[in-house]
Structure 1
Amino acid sequence: MSSNHDYVIRAIRRDDWPLVKQLRLEALRDPLADLAFLESYEEAAVKADAFWQDRAEGSGEGSAAARQFVAEAPDGSWAGSVTVLIEEAGTKDWAGTPVERRQGHVVGVYVRPEHRGNGLIKALFDAGVAWAWQRGAQRVRLLVHEKNTRAQGAYRKAGFAPSGVTVPFVKDEEQDELEFVLGRPS
């Protein structure tokens, strides 16, 4: 297992779209994907290349509204990824909830199993959070399924804490997602 210092953390580029697609499809095959992602592998696998190209362009270098960060392993493969969306005060988020302050929203968190447990997720979060602070975010948040305790532990290690806010899980409204937040340092 490599240390997190062996990885290059960087924003994706527009021409990275085939790797964006490959990593996302792999993430959707993870045993906990049904708790971690809103779409299924089957839904994502049928999307045209133009979708993935737009996704890479919309969250790559130069985008002000979203940024996807990847960890490149020493062999050049992608070990993991996080995406941060900027949510503006006075708008509504993806669930229709009013956004009270400018904030970053972390989505699409995934680290390949063979790269887990070495601090890589924190390095990815550090890059995404730094980008959100540079864009004037007052806090950074994420949502995690109430039963996804492995992810909750990783998010706590990265400095996030439960806010007390719960959101009905889109796929099953009898279950909740928990909001975790990270406040802007003073």
Structure 2
Amino acid sequence: MNSRGYEIRSIRSDEWRQVKELRLDALRDPVAHLAFLETYEKAVAEPDAFWQDRASGAAVGATARQQIVAVGEDGVWAGSVTVLVEQAGVPDAFGEVPEYDQGHVVGVYVRPEYRGSEAGVTRGLFDAALAWSWASGLERVRLFVHERNGRAEAFYRKAGFLPTGETTPMPGGTDELELEFAITPG
């Protein structure tokens, strides 16, 4: 899939160095504390084997999670998004038991110079994440957004995600709002 000069695609397992670089950049972002549960200090200390495993577990062909990336014509990764698969009846990462087979969008990051660009990088990433989710047979896709991350919430709503009315507590004593995209094509 192309988005005005960017190739939007699933990562390959041999791209662990790029996965690591983009994630470390994301964790240095000024709003990282609102958007990610991981810290830069923890992530930078991880060995190469961690990043290799992370990439292979989210690469093209994986079924439990998929990382989608926007790669510019210059080879620079402009951003990425990951979809985790949560199965109906199986406790998720928060200990909740979903009613549906669903995707959980995490790790959303677009480099600042590509945010809001005419190239539509963020929209392209979300369109690809939703397409992968529907093709995987998922019935619903959800994400959580920090109550003080207004820019992200505004984009998610524009992309078609709507509040469910649910919140979940996060480390640090804050709550995050759950939004969902529940309309499957067909």
TM-score when scaled to structure 2?
0.95
Letter in 2 for 1:139: R
CA distance in 1, matches of 2:99, 2:172: 26
Q: Comparing 33-42 with 115-124, which one deviates more in the overlay?
A: 115-124
Q: Which amino acid aligns with 1:155?
A: Y
Partner of 2:132: 131
Whole-Å separation in 1 of the counterparts to 2:154 and 2:111? 17
Matches within 5 A, 1:96-135: 96-118=95-117, 119-135=120-136
Q: Which runs of 5+ in 2 are unaligned?
A: none
* Equivalenced residues, count: 182
1:102 is aligned with what amino acid? D
RMSD: 1.2
| Contact map agreement 1:83 1:108 (CA 8 A) in 2 | yes
Amino acid at match of 1:96: G
Work out the CA distance in 2 between the residues paired with 1:5 and 1:157.
Answer: 19
C-alpha offsets along residues 37-65 of structure 1, whole Å, 9 cap, x if unaligned?
00100010000000000000000011011
Distance 1:153 1:45 in 2: 30
- Secondary structure of the residue aligned to 1:177 is strand
CA contact (8 A) 1:132 1:140 kept: yes
Alignment partner, residue 88 of structure 2: 89
Percent sequence identity over aligned pairs: 57
The ranges of structure 1 where at least 4 consecutive aligned residues each deviate by more than 6 angstroms after the TM superposition are none
- The 2-side partners of 1:150 and 1:128 are apart by 19
Residue in 1 that maps onto 2:29: 30
Task: Quote the residue 1:164 is aligned against.
Answer: 165
User: Quick check: 1:122–1:157 contact (8 Å CA) kept in 2?
Assistant: no
3-state SS of paired residue (1:179) = strand
Query: How far off is 1:133 after superposition?
Result: 0.5
Alignment correspondent of 1:58: 57
Distance in 2 (alpha carbons) for counterparts of 1:121 and 1:93? 26
**3-state SS of 2:34 partner:** helix
Deviates more, 1:115-124 or 1:46-55: 115-124
User: Structure 1 residue 120: deviation in Å?
Assistant: 1.4
Which amino acid is the alignment partner of residue 63 of structure 2?
A
Aligned-residue offset at 1:4:
3.8
User: 2:175 — aligned with what?
Assistant: 176
What is the SS of the residue equivalent to 2:4?
helix
User: Partners in 2 of 1:4 and 1:10 — Cα distance?
Assistant: 10
Question: Do structure 1's residue 185 and structure 2's residue 179 form an aligned pair?
Answer: no
Q: Which runs of 5+ in 1 are unaligned?
A: none
How many Å apart are 1:104 and its aligned residue? 0.6
Paired residue for 1:73?
Answer: 72
